[in-house]
């Protein structure tokens, strides 16, 4: 049995200013038990709406959500959130400011009328898992962003739900802490074997966390798969550019009876009709640079031992990944392309 089945969900909002806004347009996907499922998409594509529907905070116009074999959402059915055996972690944490960390984590158990002894045992167990036992008597205002995030996660975990929904949980955390929290979340998911459905607009976060990745665009699933596979084989230009590929449109040219495309100094034979536009994707690591004329270097970004080089020329912008250190802003280069993909 599929753990979570989202089937052909449609959702439209009616807002005073914009009239009807169709946010979800027939989205479907399956999540398996114990999986870390990541939904990646740009701001406004409907990610939060989708999570709210799965949580039971909203109702779909059409379609069904089936959790562990039971229809929990449809136009006629809406099982209330507390009967769904799931917890949700929001971007804003939503901790109770007047309660201690202990009180915050304990709260869902109190609501569920768990007895006091058992509550204490569970709060301490979760605090240990999250490494915040020393903070149990603090108030949220005394904590750092990363610590607050742990408390929010603790509150979600304490009831041992079979599904945890997370809506951009790291977007309010300093960049320096984000990687650490990412590893933490992954560790906790592995240790508790809970199914996680995690929403983000951050490509790196999605790649680092996902067992299964879904790229979302304008209320639809654009591609679903193993993250390495999606990265290697993006099916559409949208997925490709969202995952950091250069996506470029070129006109097919004809020379000596053979068709080819040109990008600055680089030329390559392709199949096609003269004058036809084709769209290609090139990973930054498959472009190498040498001194030349075709492209001007508009900026250089060094990240660890990698250098991202931004180029402009022949009507396009490109980014290349280089190991060498000779590149400088304002310099001119030619390119070689080792590998590229043609989108049909
Ligand atoms: N309650 C609402 N009423 C009207 N429009 C909404 C409402 N909630 C979200 N929207 C609109 O739906 C679209 C998707 O929003 P959202 O699901 O929050 O996207 P994401 O989380 O991917 O950024 C946006 O255009 C947003 O303005
Ligand atoms: Mg959102």
Q: What is the DSSP string of 33-72?
A: TT-EEEEE--TTSSHHHHHHHHHTSS--SEEEEEETTEEE
Find, among 187, 197, 166, the residue nearest to 92 by Cα: 166
Task: Count Cα atoms within 13 angstroms, Cβ side, for 259.
Answer: 12
Instruction: Evaluate whether 289 touches 309 at the Cβ level (below 8 Å).
Output: yes
pLDDT the model gives residue 18: 76
- Ligand whose nearest atom lies closest to the CA of 46: 1
Instruction: Evaluate whether 91 touches 52 at the Cβ level (below 8 Å).
Output: no
- Ligand whose nearest atom lies closest to the CA of 57: 1
pLDDT at 161 over 90: yes
Find, among 250, 278, 260, the residue nearest to 344 by Cα: 278
CA 152 to mean position of chain CA atoms: 20
C-alpha to C-alpha distances, 172 to 175, 205, 212, 251, nearest whole angstrom: 9, 14, 24, 43
CA of 46 relative to ligand 1 center, distance in Å: 6
pLDDT band at 116 (very low <50, low <70, confident <90, very high): very high
Mean pLDDT of the chain: 93
Q: Which domains does the chain have, with CATH numbers?
A: 4-242 (3.40.50.300), 246-343 (2.40.50.140)
CA of 307 relative to ligand 2 center, distance in Å: 31
pLDDT band at 173 (very low <50, low <70, confident <90, very high): confident
Give the mean model confidence (pLDDT) for residues 305-322: 93
Query: Higher pLDDT residue, 104 or 302?
Result: 104
Instruction: Evaluate whether 15 touches 21 at the Cβ level (below 8 Å).
Output: yes
pLDDT the model gives residue 304: 79
Give the mean model confidence (pLDDT) for residues 321-342: 88
CA of 178 relative to ligand 2 center, distance in Å: 18
Instruction: Supply angle C-alpha 47, 167, 165, rounded to 5.
Output: 100
Residue nearest to atom 8 of ligand 1 (CA): 49
CB 44 near ligand 1, within 6 Å = yes
Copy the structure tokens of residue 296.
């001007």
Find, among 318, 311, 295, the residue nearest to 248 by Cα: 318
CB 49 near ligand 1, within 6 Å = yes
Residue nearest to atom 6 of ligand 1 (CA): 13
CA of 226 relative to ligand 2 center, distance in Å: 23
CB 87 near ligand 1, within 6 Å = no
Question: Collapsing DSSP states into helix, strand and coil, what is residue 235?
Answer: coil
CB 73 near ligand 1, within 6 Å = no
Instruction: Evaluate whether 265 touches 292 at the Cβ level (below 8 Å).
Output: yes
* Low-confidence winner among 105-114, 131-140, 231-240, 297-306 (lowest mean pLDDT): 297-306
pLDDT the model gives residue 326: 66
Instruction: Evaluate whether 104 touches 98 at the Cβ level (below 8 Å).
Output: no
**Burial class of residue 187 in the structure, from the number of CB atoms within 10 Å of its CB (0-12 exposed, 13-18 middle, 19+ buried):** exposed
pLDDT at 176 over 80: no
pLDDT at 86 over 90: yes
Nearest atom of ligand 1 to the alpha carbon of 13: 4
Q: How far apart are CA 166 and CA 202, in angstroms?
A: 14
Q: How far apart are CA 148 and CA 140, in angstroms?
A: 6
Nearest atom of ligand 1 to the alpha carbon of 15: 4
Percentage, residues of the chain above pLDDT 90: 81
pLDDT in tens, 283-311: 999 999 999 999 999 999 988 778 999 99
pLDDT in tens, 181-204: 899 899 989 998 999 999 999 998
CA of 246 relative to ligand 2 center, distance in Å: 26
pLDDT the model gives residue 324: 64
Give the mean model confidence (pLDDT) for residues 94-99: 90
CA of 167 relative to ligand 2 center, distance in Å: 7
CA of 150 relative to ligand 2 center, distance in Å: 20
Question: Collapsing DSSP states into helix, strand and coil, what is residue 172?
Answer: coil
pLDDT at 146 over 90: no
pLDDT the model gives residue 44: 94
Contacts of range 222-226, beta carbons closer than 8 Å, 24 or more positions apart: 224/29
Q: Which residues surround ligand 2, an ion (CB under 5 A)?
A: 48
Find, among 63, 26, 59, 22, the residue nearest to 44 by Cα: 22
Query: Higher pLDDT residue, 179 or 228?
Result: 228
- Ligand whose nearest atom lies closest to the CA of 91: 2
Location of structure tokens 């069904």: 64
CB 48 near ligand 1, within 6 Å = yes
CB 13 near ligand 1, within 6 Å = yes
Give the mean model confidence (pLDDT) for residues 206-226: 96
Question: Collapsing DSSP states into helix, strand and coil, what is residue 283?
Answer: coil
């Amino acid at each position: 049995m599929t753990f979570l089945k989202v089937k052909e969900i449609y959702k439209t909002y009616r807002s005073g200013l914009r009239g009807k806004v169709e946010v979800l347009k027939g989205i479907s996907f399956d999540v398996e038990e114990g999986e870390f499922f990541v939904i990646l998409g740009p701001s406004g594509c409907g990610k939060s709406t989708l999570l709210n529907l799965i949580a039971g905070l909203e109702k779909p116009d059409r379609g069904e959500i089936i959790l562990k074999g039971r229809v929990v959402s449809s136009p006629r059915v809406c099982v209330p959130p507390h009967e769904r055996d799931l917890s949700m972690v929001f971007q804003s944490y939503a901790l109770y400011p007047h309660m201690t960390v202990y009180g915050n984590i304990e709260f869902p158990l109190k609501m569920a009328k768990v007895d006091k002894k058992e509550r204490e045992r569970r709060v301490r167990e979760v605090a240990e898992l999250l490494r915040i036992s020393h903070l149990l008597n603090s108030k949220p205002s005394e904590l750092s962003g990363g610590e607050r995030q742990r408390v929010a996660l603790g509150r979600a975990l304490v009831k041992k739900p079979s599904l945890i929904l997370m809506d951009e949980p790291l977007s309010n955390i300093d960049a320096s802490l984000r990687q650490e929290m990412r590893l933490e979340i992954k560790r906790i998911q592995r240790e508790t074997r809970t199914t996680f459905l995690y929403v983000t607009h951050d490509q790196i976060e999605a790649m680092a966390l996902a067992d299964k990745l879904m790229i979302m665009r304008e209320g639809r699933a654009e591609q679903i798969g193993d993250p390495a596979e999606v990265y290697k084989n993006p099916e559409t230009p949208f997925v490709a550019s969202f995952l950091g590929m250069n996506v470029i449109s070129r006109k097919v040219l004809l020379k000596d009876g053979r068709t080819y495309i040109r990008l600055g100094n680089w030329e390559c034979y392709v199949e096609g009709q003269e004058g036809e536009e084709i769209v290609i994707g090139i990973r930054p690591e498959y472009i190498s640079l040498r001194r030349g004329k075709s492209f001007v270097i508009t900026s250089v970004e060094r990240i660890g031992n990698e250098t991202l080089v931004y180029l402009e020329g022949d009507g396009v912008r490109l980014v290349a990944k280089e190991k060498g250190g000779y590149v400088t802003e304002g310099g001119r280069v030619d390119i070689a392309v080792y590998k590229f993909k043609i989108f049909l």
